[in-house]
Amino acid sequence: MKNISLYVSYHNKCDLIKTQYYKPIQVGTEYNSVLFPSELNDATGENISIKNKSFCELTAQYWVWKNDLTSDFIGFCHYRRHFIFNPQNKTQSDIYGVIPFEKMNDDYLKEIGYSDIALEKFLKNVDVVIPEKWDVRNLYAKNNLDQYKQGQNLDINDYYTCLAILNEKYPEYNETVSSYNRSVYGYYTNMFIMKRNIFQHYSQWLFDILFELEKRIDLSKRDLQEYRVFGYISEWLFGIYVTHLMQNKKLNIVECRRTFVHNTHTGAYSLSSQEPNLIINHDKDLLKKIDKEYKKIIPIVTTFNENYALTGTALIQSIIENSDPTCFYDIYILEGALTDTTKFNFQFMFRNLKNFKLNIVNLDRYFDGKELYLHAHFSKEICYRILIPTILPQYNKVIYLDADMVVNRDIQHLFDIDIGQKSIAAVKDYVMKGFIKYKTMCRDTCGSLTAEEYLKQYLGMKNPADYVQSGTLILNTEKIRKTGIDQLILQDLSKTSYWFPDQDLINKHLEGDVYFLDTNWNVLHGNGNLDTFFKKLPLEVMENYFKARKDPWIIHFAGEQKPWINPSTEFAAIFYYYLRNTPWRNYRANGTNSSTIPQNIEREIDQIYVNQAITIRQILKPFVNRFLPVGTKRRNVMYKLYLMASKRL
C-alpha cells in the first residue's frame, strides 16, 4: 500500500488516535508548551505556528505541506471529529452533519473502523476523501453564501474580499464560486484526504489566497473568535476547491461521514490505538519500582538487522559482563526483520539477569514506502536511532551504540557524563580528519568534492574539525523532542544523498550543539590501516588515538575488516572473548563449527562482504597505495577517472 498520513490535529491534552498512518500533530505550539513530547507539532521545521490564532488548524496543514515530503496520501481530521471508515456502520448523520459519540475507547475505534488496514481498504482506487455534504438549511441558511452572512463571529466583507482575491488570482474558478455560493450543500470542518499531488496543489492555492487576504483586512479590533477569520473562511474555500475538482470526471472523489466526540478528555492522557504504534508502552509503576530498587536506570539502544545479529550479541554480552549489579540496564534492540531464532537466542541470554531488561522492537514497517537516500552497506536500520526520542518518551537521556562494537567498561560511566544543554555527546571523528588531510573525495553523487569541501559546502559546517563519529552517542532526548530536530533529520534523509547518511545529517543539523567525548569511548579498531593511515594522521590526533587504543573503553569495528570476517584483524580476540558466553559461541570466521547460528547469517555476511568487488579492492590496494599515494593529485585524478568509467559500465 502507498504511504498514508492522516494527521490528527489537537490543541489541548486529550485522548488521541495514533497508529502508523494516524499521526497526531499539535497546533498553536508557538503559544503553548508541548503537550505530548513524542508527537509532531506545528512549531518545528518550516511553519506558521505563530499564526494559529487566526489560521486555526491550518497551521498543521501548512506544516505538513512544507515538511511531509514522502507521504502518498495526506489528510486531516480533528481530536474530536473523525471520518468513519467502517462499511458496516450505517448510522445516519444528525442535523449538524455528524454522528455523536460520548467518548473514545476501543468500542469507538472499532465502530468507526479506525485501523490502518481499514484505512488502506477505504482508500483503494480513491483520489480524494471529503466530508459528507451538509445541507445548510438545517441551520436556516438559504445557501452557502447566506451561511457565512449568518455566522455569529463572521464578517461578510471578509468573504467578499476573499472572493475578489480568488477572482484576481484564479479567474477560472469564477463559475464554481457562483454555483457553490448558491448551493445549499457545503463541505465543512477542513477534513479531507488527498493524493499527494492534489494536496500540494490545494495547499498552494489555499495559502496563496489567504496570505493575500491577510494583507487586506484589519484584525486589530477583533475579539478572540472574530480573530479566527482565516480558519473559518478556509472552510468555504475548501468547498469551492472540491466543487471545482469534481469537474474532473477522471478523479474518484468519495464523501465520508464524520463523528463528533463530546468527552475528549478521559483523564488518561494516553494515545488510543488498535494497532502497535511507534511509542513503546511501559508500565509506569514497574519503572517506579525499578527506580527504587536500583541506583539508576540506564537505557541503552542499538540497531541492526539479521546480518549484524552476530556482532550485536557480542556488544550486548560485553555490556552484561561489565555491568554493575546495583544498576538497572534497560536495553533496546531496534531491528529490521530479525528471525524468530535470533530473537529467541537474544532473549535466552537475559533469562537469569535480574538487573537487565531486553526489548526487541521491530521498526521495519515504519519505513515501508519511505524513500531514503542510502547506498553501499548502509541499510535503513541506520535511521532507526533517529527515532529514539520518539520511541522512548519516558527517558530524557539515552545511550546509543552501533552494533559493531564491544564495551570494555561499565556503560554507566558513559551515562553519568553531564552533557549540559547539548543535544548529543559524541567522539570527534579522527578518520574524517585524515580524509581532510589527504583530500579524500566524497561520492560522485555528492559532487566528488574533497572531504573539507564536502563538509563546508555540502553539509554547511562552519568548523569541519568538529565533525563527530556517530557510533557512540549520548542523546539528550528531552531537548531533541522539544526542538524536533530528529524530524528534520528524517526529512532531510528522504530528500538528498549523503556520503555517510545519518552521521552526516547529525553533524549538519547539530553542529555547535555537541558535547565532545573522550576518544576512549569510540576507538576504531584500525581496519588493517594502522601504518598506512592512522600513523599518518595529524600529530595531535594520531597521539590521542594511539593513547586511547591502550585503554579502549569501547572498540568500534568500523570498515570491511570485521573480526567475524577476518579473525586476524585488530582487537578480534576481544570480540571473540565476549562471544564465548553467547548462543553464537561456536561461530568461526571460516564458517565451520557454527551450527548454533542461523545459517543465513553466514551466507548473507558472505554476500555483503566477501564479494568480488571487495576481493579485487583488497588485492589492488597495496599496489594503488604504492604508486598512487594517499593525498597526491594523481590519486585524485585516477579516482575521478574511475568514477567516470564506473558510470559508463
pLDDT at 596 over 90: no
Q: How far apart are CA 68 and CA 72, in angstroms?
A: 10
CB 32 within 8 A of CB 52: no
Q: How far apart are CA 415 and CA 489, in angstroms?
A: 24
Q: Tell me the pLDDT of the chain averaged across its residues.
A: 86
Which grid cell sits at 145?
A: 453564501
pLDDT at 593 over 60: no
> What pLDDT is attached to residue 78?
95
* Structure confidence at residue 636 as a pLDDT band (50, 70, 90): low
Question: In whole angstroms, how far apart are CA 268 and each of 9, 15, 259, 281?
Answer: 18, 7, 21, 14
Which grid cell sits at 122?
A: 477505504
Q: How far apart are CA 435 and CA 540, in angstroms?
A: 15
Other Cβ atoms less than 10 A from the Cβ of 382: the count is 20
* Structure confidence at residue 619 as a pLDDT band (50, 70, 90): very low
Note the residue count of the chain. Answer: 649
Residue with the bigger pLDDT between 272 and 78: it is 78
For residue 484, give every residue at least 6 positions away whose Cβ sits within 8 Å of its Cβ, in sequence order, or none: 40, 41, 43, 44, 45
- Convert the pLDDT of each residue in 131-171 to its tens digit: 999 999 999 999 999 999 999 899 999 999 999 999 999 99
Q: How far apart are CA 571 and CA 1, in angstroms?
A: 46
pLDDT at 375 over 70: no
> What pLDDT is attached to residue 264?
87
CB 610 within 8 A of CB 565: yes
In whole angstroms, what separates CA 395 from the centre of its chain?
A: 18
> What pLDDT is attached to residue 70?
84
> What pLDDT is attached to residue 490?
78
Q: Which of 252, 255, 238 is nearest to 131 (CA)?
A: 255
CB 600 within 8 A of CB 306: yes
- Edge-first strand listing for the sheet containing 328-336: 356-362, 328-336, 297-305, 398-401, 468-475, 424-428, 514-516
Residue with the bigger pLDDT between 176 and 560: it is 176
- Convert the pLDDT of each residue in 30-50 to its tens digit: 988 888 777 889 998 899 999
Label residues 200-236 b or e (16+ Cβ within 10 Å = b).
Answer: eebbebbbebbebbeeebeeeeeeeebbbbbbbbbbb
> What pLDDT is attached to residue 496?
77
pLDDT at 560 over 80: yes
In terms of pTM, does the model score above 0.75?
no
pLDDT at 8 over 70: yes
pLDDT at 379 over 70: no
> What pLDDT is attached to residue 271?
46
465-492 average pLDDT score:
90
Beta strands in 437-490 (DSSP E): 468-475
Q: How far apart are CA 142 and CA 641, in angstroms?
A: 74
* Structure confidence at residue 644 as a pLDDT band (50, 70, 90): low
CB 511 within 8 A of CB 466: yes
> What pLDDT is attached to residue 268?
42
- Edge-first strand listing for the sheet containing 405-407: 405-407, 554-556, 523-524
According to DSSP, residue 454 is labeled I
According to DSSP, residue 523 is labeled E
Share of the chain above pLDDT 90, in %: 61
Cross-strand partners of 8:
24, 77
Question: In whole angstroms, how far apart are CA 132 and each of 98, 274, 434, 542?
Answer: 9, 25, 63, 69
485 conformational bin, left if phi > 0, alpha if psi -120 to 50, beta if neither: alpha
Which grid cell sits at 90?
A: 450505517
Give me the half-sphere count of Cα atoms (radius 13 Å) on the Cβ side of residue 276: 10
- Convert the pLDDT of each residue in 360-372 to its tens digit: 887 765 655 555 5
Cross-strand partners of 556:
405, 524
Q: What is the largest CA-CA distance in the chain?
A: 89
Residue boundaries of the structural domains of the chain? 4-264, 284-610, 611-649
Site of grid cell 556503560: 411
Which grid cell sits at 361?
A: 522492537
- Convert the pLDDT of each residue in 294-331 to its tens digit: 999 999 999 988 888 999 999 999 999 999 999 999 99
* Structure confidence at residue 645 as a pLDDT band (50, 70, 90): low
Question: In whole angstroms, how far apart are CA 571 and each of 320, 502, 575, 576?
Answer: 19, 26, 7, 9
Q: What is the DSSP string of 247-271?
A: T-TTS-EEEE-BEEEEE---S---E
Most trustworthy range by pLDDT among 424-428, 438-442, 452-456: 424-428
- Convert the pLDDT of each residue in 517-528 to its tens digit: 999 999 999 998
pLDDT at 622 over 80: no
Any idea which of 334-338, 408-412, 580-584 has the lowest mean pLDDT?
Answer: 334-338
99-104 average pLDDT score:
92
> What pLDDT is attached to residue 640?
59
- Convert the pLDDT of each residue in 240-283 to its tens digit: 999 999 988 889 999 999 999 998 876 543 444 433 344 454 55
Q: What is the DSSP string of 194-256?
A: EEHHHHHHHHHHHHHHHHHHHHHS--TT--TTGGGHHHHHHHHHHHHHHHHHTT-TTS-EEEE
- Convert the pLDDT of each residue in 184-202 to its tens digit: 999 999 999 999 999 999 9
Q: What torsion do the CA atoms of 382, 387, 393, 398 make, to the nearest 10 degrees?
A: 30
284-610 to CATH, choices 3.90.550.10, 3.30.1370.60, 3.40.50.12280, 3.40.50.10490:
3.90.550.10
In degrees rounded to 5, what are phi and psi of residue 555?
A: -100, 135
CB 79 within 8 A of CB 8: yes
pLDDT at 457 over 70: yes
Any idea which of 88-97, 280-289, 451-460 has the lowest mean pLDDT?
Answer: 280-289
> What pLDDT is attached to residue 237?
98
